Structure 1
Amino acid sequence: MPNLFCTFAGALFGALLFLAVPVVAQQDGGLSNTGVVQSLILTIAPERLYSESAFGQRIAREIEAESLEIASENRRIEAELTAEERELTELRDSLPQEDFRERADAFDEKVQQLRREQDEKARALGQRTDEARRALLTAAQPVLSQLMIESSAVAILDRRAVLLSADAVDITDEAIARVDARFGDGADILPLRP
């Protein structure tokens, strides 16, 4: 009986040792000979993937330029409305009250309409950022899938949703490099704005 127990214990120890080898490889960063971490679970920071990629930076520049245009347009509109309001105020005493009221109401309607138009432009700009993020994540799916295959991973998790992980399983930098290599500034993902 003791010999059977020793044989079983030896086999169990050998199996545990065999299973421990991958764990040790992962603890030391788990880099394979291809330079990609070997782990069942990987993490990524989607916001960094977007903001640090050439595509995300191009979109940010375009949005900044459009924001500056909207701000400039707002200042021009504000100056025109201020001048128009001043002119209307000066006419108050020289116009019949009914004519003045018509002009004042038309001015108020114009102000409200311009405000709605400018607010809509600002909202559209915010939506464009969200649209660009979604478009990049959709386009990057094959790149991320390839990283999963190379890493022998079964999942890539959003780093913000993970309580604790080793930095070695974060593939954000590698994903950015590969997305940049594949898509450049992303004109194929979202066309350049004129």
Structure 2
Amino acid sequence: MRRFARVFLTLLATALAGSFVVAQEQPAPTPAPAQRSAVQTPILTIDTERLFSQSAFGLRVAREIEERGAALSAENRSIEAELGAEEQELTEKRSAMEPGAFRVLADAFDQKVQDTRRAQEAKGRELSQLLEKEQIAFLNTAAPILESLMRDSGAGVILERRSVFLSANAIDITDAAIARINTALGDGAN
């Protein structure tokens, strides 16, 4: 998840860079007090892991990943049982076969096991990559919402909460960000 935080900060910084260039060219209008949040501070903090994991979007992704992971585990158990039965059958044939012929079957079985293992590991990696892809999509979509929250708070920067040594809880916008993102994105399902 630390990588998620780094990716988040990079994407947010990229998204916000354009805003600051525009802001330098022409002064931004000061929002009316009713548009601002209660805290007026130049620095805000956010817990990006919690932002994703507790948002409707992140909860949907977690459910989907869990379902796919459970299906992959069930598939792995089924394959393991099939390979175990095939190995037992091969072992039983061993005494009735010529050593050379048995070696050919045993090598073919070993190759099948290795190929199957690689295929199943690739499926596991795809699942991890799906999570990463969804996190990046979430951050790309959430960046303008977070930028708006930052502007409404009169802040100039949002820092990762775990990177801050000490801060007042009042500058943490994670809950407010989750609420705004849930309102704007829902669970992000198409």
Please tell me the TM-score bracket, short chain as reference: 0.7 to 0.9
Tell me which of 61, 76, 80 is aligned to 2:82.
80
Deviation at 1:111, TM superposition (A): 0.2
* Contact residue 47 and residue 162 of structure 2 kept, 8 A: yes
Name the residue aligned to 2:106.
104
Amino acid across the alignment from 2:48: P
Name the residue aligned to 1:145.
147
**C-alpha separation between the residues in 2 aligned to 1:124 and 1:183?**
25
Name the residue aligned to 1:160.
162
**C-alpha separation between the residues in 1 aligned to 2:138 and 2:166?**
26
The higher relative CO (CA closer than 8 Å, separation ≥ 6) is in 2
Question: Which one has a bigger Cα radius of gyration?
Answer: 1
Amino acid across the alignment from 2:147: S
**C-alpha separation between the residues in 1 aligned to 2:130 and 2:166?**
32
Name the residue aligned to 1:70.
72
Tell me which of 173, 176, 179 is aligned to 2:178.
176
Deviation at 1:124, TM superposition (A): 1.2
* Contact residue 45 and residue 159 of structure 2 kept, 8 A: yes
**C-alpha separation between the residues in 2 aligned to 1:61 and 1:163?**
33
Percentage of matched positions with identical amino acids = 53
Deviation at 1:94, TM superposition (A): 0.7
Name the residue aligned to 1:59.
61
Once the two structures are superposed, what CA deviation does each residue of 1:154-180 show, in whole Å capped at 9, x if it has no partner?
000010111111000000001000101
**C-alpha separation between the residues in 2 aligned to 1:62 and 1:90?**
42
Which sections of structure 1, spanning at least 5 residues, go unmatched?
1-31
* Contact residue 36 and residue 153 of structure 2 kept, 8 A: no
Deviates most, 121-130 or 34-43? 34-43
Amino acid across the alignment from 1:110: K
Deviation at 1:34, TM superposition (A): 4.7
Deviates most, 76-85 or 133-142? 133-142
Deviation at 1:99, TM superposition (A): 1.1
Q: How large is the Cα RMSD of the aligned pairs?
A: 1.2
Deviation at 1:148, TM superposition (A): 1.1
Aligned partner of residue 157 in structure 1, secondary structure: strand
Amino acid across the alignment from 1:151: S
* Contact residue 41 and residue 155 of structure 2 kept, 8 A: yes
2:97 matched to 1:95? Answer: yes
Deviation at 1:98, TM superposition (A): 1.3
* Contact residue 145 and residue 180 of structure 2 kept, 8 A: yes
Matched residue count:
157
Which sections of structure 2, spanning at least 5 residues, go unmatched?
1-32
**C-alpha separation between the residues in 2 aligned to 1:95 and 1:35?**
82
